[in-house]
């Protein structure tokens, strides 16, 4: 039998046929997918839950005119299993994967909240940045040439060739938002500042170089879409989901995307509510550095990791890249195809437009910033240089 799209009814049949629930059990099922690409079914028998995530052969956000490979479900399930090898505490458990139907059966995380939603609602997740810093340090170190033997790394790299999804990132993060492409989506009131970006030759030169890094730097296994909608949180737990964009890429990419999405949230807040977001940005970086350093010292497999002078250079380059990738992400989430609710759902139009202008200016500043200093207070400094509280009270 070939591929067939599940419905709420057939998802229950599938789950029973595959032994996730016994035949006579009453199982409820709801399609809860709010992402851009897939169906997500939540099944429950009153005691235990199950998630069946199914890839569609096209991008749900656009429709059948944008075909997409079903192989992304295999990539996602494989990435979750690789992550689980190093940091099982930060990913949902995968129970099974069906390549033909492009289904992943996995742990139901409904007791947790999607971090973007929680942050918009004013929740704080005190451990979020500690966990994400540790998650990234472990996964990136152990899948890079620093922590994985080069023969094994080359084989793993070949298993994460992910052309369709990488092309989405190449287009939607690095290309389309920087010129007049049809995929772009923004309020007409922003046209003046959008034109400024599109005419900025220095900016485009920098974006071109970062797109090229994304295309060519196969440094480690990256999640590839680590925004706050790809993370579940509670006060004690953090779970990274949705690595269907996983591929080998630059070490600073996920850090940059995560930080940019935190910055977008900060832009949606009043000044006195922003500290916690800057705390998370700074703590993500400090925990990342602390953990990566420990792994480098204890677990390095590359001969030259013995050289004490090399680690600070590696960390500085990761930071530098993260700053520029954060700039690309801020701009694309504001005027590109896929927006963020943090900015889009600001209720008063004038405040929303101003927050979006700030996002674009901040994105540009991050991209153009030349830093030799890996100090994450930079994000707050650049943010504050752009945002004037007086303007936000319009």
Instruction: Confirm or reject binding of residue 264 to ligand SR1 (CB under 6 A).
Output: no
What's the min distance (Å) between Cβ of 322 and ligand SR1?
Answer: 17
Q: Specify which residues 106 forms β-bridges with.
A: 51, 94
Give me 339's structure tokens. 């927006």
CB of 333 closer than 8 Å to CB of 175 = no
Give the C-alpha distances (Å, rounded to integers) separating 13 from 17, 22, 33, 58. 6, 10, 19, 24
What's the rounded Cα separation, in Å, for the pair 360 and 74? 35
The residues, ordered by sequence, that sit 6+ positions from 307 with a Cβ below 8 Å of its Cβ are none
* Binding segment (CB under 6 A) for ligand SR1, from list 34-42, 273-281, 299-307, 346-354: 34-42
- 171 labelled as ligand-binding? no
Q: Candidates 29-37, 44-52, 304-312, 366-374 — which segment interacts with ligand SR1 by CB under 6 A?
A: 29-37
Q: Does 155 bind ligand SR1 (CB under 6 A)?
A: no
Q: Does 76 bind Mg ion (CB under 5 A)?
A: no
Per rule CB under 5 A, is residue 329 in the interface with Mg ion?
no
Taking the complex as a whole, the smallest distance from the CB of residue 222 to ligand SR1 amounts, in Å, to: 13
Query: Is 244 within any annotated ligand binding site?
Result: yes
Q: CB burial class (10 A; 0-12, 13-18, 19+) of residue 170?
A: middle
Contact segment (CB under 5 A) with Mg ion among 17-25, 29-37, 95-103, 110-118 equals 29-37
243 appears as a binding residue in the annotation: yes
> For residue 122, is it left (φ>0), alpha (ψ between -120 and 50) or beta?
left
Q: Which stretch binds ligand SR1 (CB under 6 A): 35-43, 85-93, 199-207, 381-389?
A: 35-43
Q: Is 185 annotated as a binding residue?
A: no
Is 50 annotated in a binding site? The answer is: no
Contact status: 225 vs ligand SR1 (CB under 6 A)? yes
Residue whose CB is less far from ligand SR1, 37 or 353: 37
From residue 219 to residue 248, the character string flagging contacts with Mg ion as x (rule: CB under 5 A) and all else as - is -----------------------x------
Quick check: 323 and 256 in contact, CB under 8 A? yes
CA angle 310-303-286, nearest 5°? 40
Minimal CA–CA distance to 263: which of 221, 203, 325, 212?
A: 325
Q: Is residue 89 part of an annotated ligand binding site?
A: no
For 31, 157, 196, 348, the CA distances from 90, given in Å and listed in that order, are 24, 22, 41, 36
Does residue 114 bind ligand SR1 (CB under 6 A)? no
Q: Does 392 carry a binding-site annotation?
A: no
Work out which of 168, 221, 241, 366 binds ligand SR1, going by CB under 6 A. 168
Residues interacting with ligand SR1, by CB under 6 A? 35-37, 59, 61, 168, 172, 225, 337-338
């Amino acid at each position: 039998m070939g591929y067939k799209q599940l419905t709420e009814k057939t998802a229950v049949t599938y789950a029973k046929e595959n032994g996730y629930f016994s035949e006579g059990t009453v199982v409820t099922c709801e399609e809860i997918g709010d992402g851009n690409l897939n169906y997500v079914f939540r099944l429950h028998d009153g005691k235990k839950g199950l998630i069946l995530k199914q890839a569609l052969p096209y991008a749900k956000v656009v429709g059948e005119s944008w075909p997409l490979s079903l192989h992304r479900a295999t990539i996602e399930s494989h990435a979750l299993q690789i992550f689980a090898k190093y940091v099982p505490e930060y990913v949902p458990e995968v129970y099974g994967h069906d390549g033909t139907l492009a289904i992943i059966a996995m742990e139901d995380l409904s007791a947790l909240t999607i971090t973007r939603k929680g942050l918009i609602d004013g929740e704080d997740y005190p451990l979020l940045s500690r966990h994400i810093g540790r998650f990234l340090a472990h996964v990136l170190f152990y899948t890079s040439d620093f922590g994985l033997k080069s023969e094994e790394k080359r084989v793993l790299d070949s298993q994460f060739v992910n052309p369709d999804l990488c092309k989405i990132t190449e287009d939607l993060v690095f290309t389309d938002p920087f010129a007049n492409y049809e995929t772009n989506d923004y309020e007409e009131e922003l046209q003046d500042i959008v034109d400024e970006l599109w005419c900025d030759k220095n900016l485009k030169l920098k974006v071109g170089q970062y797109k090229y890094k994304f295309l060519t730097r196969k440094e480690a296994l990256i999640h590839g879409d680590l925004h706050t909608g790809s993370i579940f949180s509670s006060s004690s737990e953090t779970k990274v989901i949705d690595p269907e964009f996983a591929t080998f890429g630059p070490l600073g990419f996920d850090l940059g995307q995560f930080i940019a999405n935190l910055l977008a949230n900060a832009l949606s807040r009043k000044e006195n509510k922003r500290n916690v977001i800057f705390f998370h940005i700074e703590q993500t970086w400090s925990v990342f550095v602390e953990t990566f350093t420990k792994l480098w010292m204890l677990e390095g497999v590359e001969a030259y990791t013995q050289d004490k002078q090399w680690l600070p250079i590696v960390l500085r380059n990761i930071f530098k890249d993260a700053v520029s990738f954060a700039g690309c992400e801020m701009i694309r989430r504001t005027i590109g195809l896929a927006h963020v609710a943090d900015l889009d759902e600001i209720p008063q139009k004038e405040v929303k437009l101003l927050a979006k202008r700030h996002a674009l200016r901040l994105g540009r500043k991050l991209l153009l910033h030349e830093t030799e200093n890996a100090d994450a207070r930079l994000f707050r400094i650049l943010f504050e240089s752009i945002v004037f509280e007086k303007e936000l009270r319009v």
